[in-house]
Amino acid sequence: MRNISQRVSEGRPDDDKAVSFNELLNFGLVGYFKYMAEMSRIADEMITECMEDCDDDGRVEICPDDGMNPCLMGCKLINKDCAYGVKVIERAKISVLNYLNKIVPKKIFKDLSKVKQTQALNLASGWKYKGVLYLFGESGIGKSFCAAWLLYNHKLNQVTKYWDREDVWNDILTGISWVSAYDAVDKLNFEMVKRAPMLILDDLGTEQQTPGNKSTIGEIIAKRYDNDVPTIITSNINPNSLMYGKRVTDRIADEGYCVEFTGVSMRTSA
């Protein structure tokens, strides 16, 4: 019997020996997998060090000497520090910034690429992204900026953990809610604020100090603290002077992670 390659070229629709669609499909798949297996073997022999010419998908062109067609093969040496890995990490930074640009207030986001180390920042960086981080001090010295910077670092660390899995980045870049205390007491925002996977409650104390608002803020903080979900609060108020009930004061002042900002802004000069 003629082999399948002969029958592919000679077969006619009315010929009982004409190749069937399934035979043609199987022949194509077998040939393809044999070809790819051979190219993989050649790639293993040829790529012994970083070639620094990967394409955007981490593939290198393999050109065999035996007349086989060239083929793009994934480099098995790629890592975060190689030329391809560096490009991926840069894409990760851009992806994180694009995500935060939708969440962080514009006046804060525009300075996010400019930061200098301060004692307050170093202390805040010790927070483990569980429970409450309370950033307090006078106005204009970088409390909200610090909150945004912590978000950036947290999400970037999560994304770079999966640096070679860009398909999961969108699943990681989600779950943050940024709301001012003034807006948090709005009943339309209440459930979102209480249940957000990660919450930044900005400018605590700027909301109207009515009994109802104090009760709402107290419930939000207590609920999030009890559930141990990450919550960053910024305020001008010393935690011991909070007026949202003893339970809230105890959870923040005695059991929360508190960092005081004194006089030095985290923002670098332009």
What pLDDT is recorded for position 66? 65
What pLDDT is recorded for position 12? 42
Give the global pTM: 0.76
Instruction: Give the up-direction half-sphere exposure of residue 242: CA atoms within 13 A in the CB hemisphere.
Output: 25
- 3-state SS track over 115-176: CCCCHHHHHHCCCCCCCEEEEEECCCCCHHHHHHHHHHHHHHHHHHHCCCCHHHHHHHCCCE
Count Cβ atoms within 10 A of the Cβ of residue 54 and give its class: 0-12 exposed, 13-18 middle, 19 or more buried: buried
What pLDDT is recorded for position 99? 96
The SS3 call for residue 112 is coil
What pLDDT is recorded for position 16? 47
Is the Cβ–Cβ distance between 217 and 245 less than 8 Å?
no
What pLDDT is recorded for position 178? 96
Residues of the chain short of pLDDT 50, as ranges, are 1-19, 24, 268-270
Q: How far is CA 94 from CA 72, 97, 196, in A?
A: 27, 5, 24
Per-residue pLDDT tens digits for 44-59: 777 777 767 778 778 8
What pLDDT is recorded for position 217? 94
What pLDDT is recorded for position 119? 81
* Domains of the chain, each with CATH number or no CATH: 4-74 (no CATH), 92-261 (3.40.50.300)
